[in-house]
Chain A
């Protein structure tokens, strides 16, 4: 959540400089999603107002007690203010990389869109990842097309940008699969050696 909040703040800041050059509908969507996300995230981290509002709700929906939402809420806020602020600072750095990655994918497929625009549209690209899908496939391509076509980018190029991003995700995921397989193999070997010693 700290990552998304930082990204929303970055997106809104970038919008101050480039809003004039963006279609009004796109500006409205960015303001709605990033602004709304910041308000909701701020309320979750602040906590008191949401707890007061949620006190009258049934247990599964309440932020107090033993319900599922209460447990998630306790986990989110349990880290402490200092840790959350540190995580936000780290997220700033991570999100700068995230914007740069998206822009580089644009450069890969020849989308002539400036880096500044990617600061504004990356929050929407990231939020689209919350829509249920297999590794973001489909949703990412449709979102990049919806965000880049109003800026004059060809739909095929915009979809190709989404695919290039997906290929990065997939490659990183597969490298994780190799690590997982190696860890599993080494663990099984260690267990087998233990059994051998016992026998």
Chain B
């Protein structure tokens, strides 16, 4: 097994292991009871703010990427940030923030859609 696979296995083991220990100690049912009594309005406001924060993060990358002299459209960057959020939070791949990182090798990834040739216009 190569290094990446070992690392992915480690990620799974850490997440599953810690959650198992936590729920074994405090009880899954009790935690779910707390969640059932949760104030959904507060959570929805937090979700809205989180989505706004993704736009702010995309804006920050725009500033850094422009500092490198590359031309990239904000909306394209925002879409990529959402896709990065999907890859980071819903799969065991390494931080997808690297997808939008300001290094030369990653700059092409910002400009290239996942299915086709490069385009700098966004």
Contact = CB atoms under 8 A, between A and B. Distances in A.
Partners in one complex: yes
B contact face: mostly helix, strand, loop, or mixed:
helix
Interface stretch (A10-18, A21-29, A31-39, A94-102): A94-102
A167 B43 contact: yes
Interface residues of B, number: 67
Interface size class of A (residues with CB under 8 A): 35 or more
Interface string A56-93: 00000000000000011011101110111011001101
B56 A139 contact: no
B73 to A, nearest CB: 14
B79 interface: yes
B115 A138 contact: no
A55 interface: no
A2 interface: yes
Interface of B: 7, 10-12, 14-19, 22, 25-27, 30-31, 33-35, 37-40, 42-43, 45-47, 49-54, 56-57, 59-60, 63-68, 79, 81-92, 101-106, 113-116
17 contacts: A72-B103, A75-B101, A75-B103, A87-B60, A91-B60, A104-B43, A105-B46, A133-B11, A133-B15, A134-B91, A138-B15, A157-B34, A164-B35, A169-B50, A180-B114, A183-B79, A184-B114
